Copies of this chain bind each other. A is one copy, B any other.
Amino acid sequence: MLEAKAYGASSADANFGEMTIDRRDLHDIDVKIDILYCGVCHSDIHAKLNDWGNAKYPIVPGHEIIGKVTEVGSKVSKYKVGDLVGVGCMVDSCQECSACEEDMEMWCENGSTSTYNSKDKFLDGHTLGGYSTTIVVREEFVLSVSEDLDIKAVAPLLCAGITTYSPLKHWNIQKGDKVGIVGLGGLGHMGIKFAAAMGAETVMITTSEEKSKDAKRLGADSVIISKDKDQMKEHNNSFDFILNTIPVGHDVNPYLALLKRDKTMCLVGAIEPLENVHGGNLILRRKRLAGSLIGGIKETQEMLDFCAEHNIVSDVEMINMQDIDNAFERVQNSDVKYRFVIDMESLKS
């Protein structure tokens, strides 16, 4: 067993504190990673607070991991010591079912293993995430990261990046498509960058006038203030795709009205009941309301390669591990542009 330092909580109402955790010894298929940076995702807060009712304690969150390979198992062929790598939301899956065979491990029919708070196949208990100095992950779930990017700002790509890239690719966004991004936070700011890089006419749709300027800096061609009914009406039936990143239940009807016939709005944030979705808004013009969850490993690598090619990273604010409670509070108040990343050096020293 391998000891690692970590930051976690022993119960839903406990603050985070430093702890020592067990990582497994290296199997022949594993890569051992010295963690350099770990992004802070809103899911980390939901998990810590047991908002989804499935938290396992002690909980060590973190699924936006960037690090250096320090050791590889005998059967590992893709990575060598010193490589810059990433680990995202999953660390294992059955590798045999139809979902895994189609590179959609997140929907593994036998259940994928999440990076934290999931049953650990190798050790007793549950998986522990990236708020830690070290992690051991099987080769198939390790991503290659370009040295050319600002690597601390690459961390959020492992969750916020793939969550927004995957639906834009799945719905085949092309140059010239009019794409709306609803909500400007950790997910929304990546949605703008990706849609713009794919050549879409990228439109930020936000309640907040003050976010307009920043949306344009991030790459939006224009902004619609969703509270302005006249402005919304002007854009009725005009969008080829809408990526809806609002993280809570809300009224989706005004956004459905913006879609062209046969087009889709995809939810990536609201894992919650939506207010009264009006059937008529789907029936007229055959519109679709869909959802999407992260992406498979192959697509995550494709996304990282796309980012290297287009020089895309997340906008981040760096923190020390010890600042995590304050960072959680600021995430809950939407007070971050646009993602906190923990410098893991702070935990090592």
Where the two chains meet, the residues of A that have a C-beta atom closer than 8 Å to any C-beta of B are: 99, 104, 107, 170, 249, 261, 264, 267-293
Of B264, B271, B273, B283, the residue contacting A276 (CB under 8 A) is B273
Of B104, B277, B292, the residue contacting A273 (CB under 8 A) is B277
Q: A99-B261, A104-B261, A170-B286 are in contact. Are A267 and B279 (CB under 8 A)?
A: yes
Check B276–A286 contact: CB distance below 8 A: no
Check A289–B286 contact: CB distance below 8 A: no
Check B283–A293 contact: CB distance below 8 A: yes
Chain B residue at minimal CB-CB distance from A250? B279
Number of copies: 2
Check B261–A282 contact: CB distance below 8 A: no
A99 — which chain B residues lie within 8 A by C-beta?
A: 261
Chain B residue at minimal CB-CB distance from A256? B291
CA distance A99 to B285 in the complex (A): 10
Check B107–A261 contact: CB distance below 8 A: yes
Of B270, B280, B289, the residue contacting A289 (CB under 8 A) is B289
Check A273–B267 contact: CB distance below 8 A: no
**Subset of 20 A-B contacts with CB under 8 Å:** A107-B284, A107-B286, A267-B282, A267-B283, A270-B279, A270-B283, A271-B279, A272-B278, A272-B280, A274-B276, A274-B279, A279-B291, A281-B291, A282-B291, A283-B291, A285-B293, A287-B291, A288-B289, A289-B289, A289-B290
CA distance A16 to B282 in the complex (A): 33
Q: A107-B285, A290-B286 are in contact. Are A274 and B272 (CB under 8 A)?
A: no
Check A284–B289 contact: CB distance below 8 A: no
